[in-house]
Amino acid sequence: MRSMSWEELWPMLLNGTLETVYMVALAAFFTVLIGLPIGVLLYISRASGLLPMPKINAVLGTIINIGRSLPFIVLLIALIPFTRLLIGTTLGSTAAVVPITIGAFPFFARLTENALDEVDYGRIEAILSMGGGVWHVIAKALLPEALPTLLAGITLTIVMLIGFSSMAGVIGGGGLGDLAIRYGYQRFNDQVMVGTVVVLVVLVQGVQMTGDRLVRRLAHRR
């Protein structure tokens, strides 16, 4: 295939980047929205937790472990019927958000549970001794104290979502992954492949550096 000029490549990379950012931002929102409360529930529902519910904890933990163990490319294909039912199509950036979110929220739920494990139990006991309930502990101790670790977990999750969004190109999910497959791999265009790789590396580095800086600033203030 003929070499592609910068004037031709630039709009394609820009459009693919915008689609990737859209997918990742929307998926990150829903991942945190679903994964955060599940992670909190996993923490408080342990046998020795604030609100012991061993059976619910065991079932929820099993579901989370199964979700984390499935390779994303397999999950991506397996969820095609569900995505079509929910969105009406399996093509495009919006449709790709569904499997990306389902693939990511179990991971973030575990990160949330681990972050809450690091909270000093003395703060929890202090609130309980003053008559505070479970929700007071969650709002006043667990989430505020775990915030730097949670922010680091969100950063790690967003980096993972960028990788997931690239794999979504396999089923026409749009973004840089779709661009790399359709115009780079299938048409043997090394310029497109190199361009998409460079942009993905820049995105990941930008997210990681920004997240690390915010975590350090938050930890310093605390």
Specify the pLDDT at position 110: 95
pTM check: above 0.75: yes
Task: Tell me if 120 sits within 8 A of 161, measured CB to CB.
Answer: no
Q: Does residue 170 lie within any of the structural domains?
A: yes
Q: Does residue 204 lie within any of the structural domains?
A: yes
Counted domains in the chain = 1
Cα torsion angle, 88, 90, 93, 97, sign: positive
Q: Does residue 163 lie within any of the structural domains?
A: yes
Cα torsion angle, 174, 176, 178, 182, sign: positive
Specify the pLDDT at position 5: 64
Q: Does residue 54 lie within any of the structural domains?
A: yes
3-state secondary structure the chain: CCCCCHHHHHHHHHHHHHHHHHHHHHHHHHHHHHHHHHHHHHHHCCCCCCCCCHHHHHHHHHHHHHHHHCCHHHHHHHCHHHHHHHHCCCCCHHHHHHHHHHHHHHHHHHHHHHHHHCCCHHHHHHHHHCCCCHHHHHHHHHHHHHHHHHHHHHHHHHHHHHHHHHHHHHHCCCHHHHHHHHHHHCCCCHHHHHHHHHHHHHHHHHHHHHHHHHHHHHHHHC
Q: Does residue 93 lie within any of the structural domains?
A: yes
Each residue's pLDDT tens digit in the chain (222 positions)? Answer: 555 666 778 888 999 999 999 999 999 999 999 999 999 999 999 988 888 999 999 999 999 999 988 888 888 889 989 999 998 888 888 999 999 999 999 999 999 999 999 888 888 888 888 888 888 899 888 999 999 999 999 999 999 999 999 888 877 788 888 888 888 777 777 888 888 999 999 999 999 999 999 999 887 666
Specify the pLDDT at position 38: 96
Tell me how far apart the alpha carbons of residues 168 and 176 are, in angstroms, rounded to a whole number.
9
User: What are the CA-CA distances from residue 13 to residues 3, 174, 202 (Å)?
Assistant: 15, 12, 13
Specify the pLDDT at position 3: 59
Q: Does residue 14 lie within any of the structural domains?
A: yes
Q: Does residue 91 lie within any of the structural domains?
A: yes
Specify the pLDDT at position 101: 96
Tell me how far apart the alpha carbons of residues 116 and 146 are, in angstroms, rounded to a whole number.
6
Q: In which domain, by residue range, is 46 found?
A: 6-220
CATH number of the domain encompassing residue 117: 1.10.3720.10
Q: Does residue 1 lie within any of the structural domains?
A: no
Q: Which two tokens stand for residue 155?
A: 């950063």
Task: Tell me if 164 sits within 8 A of 27, measured CB to CB.
Answer: yes
152 Cα distance to chain centroid: 12
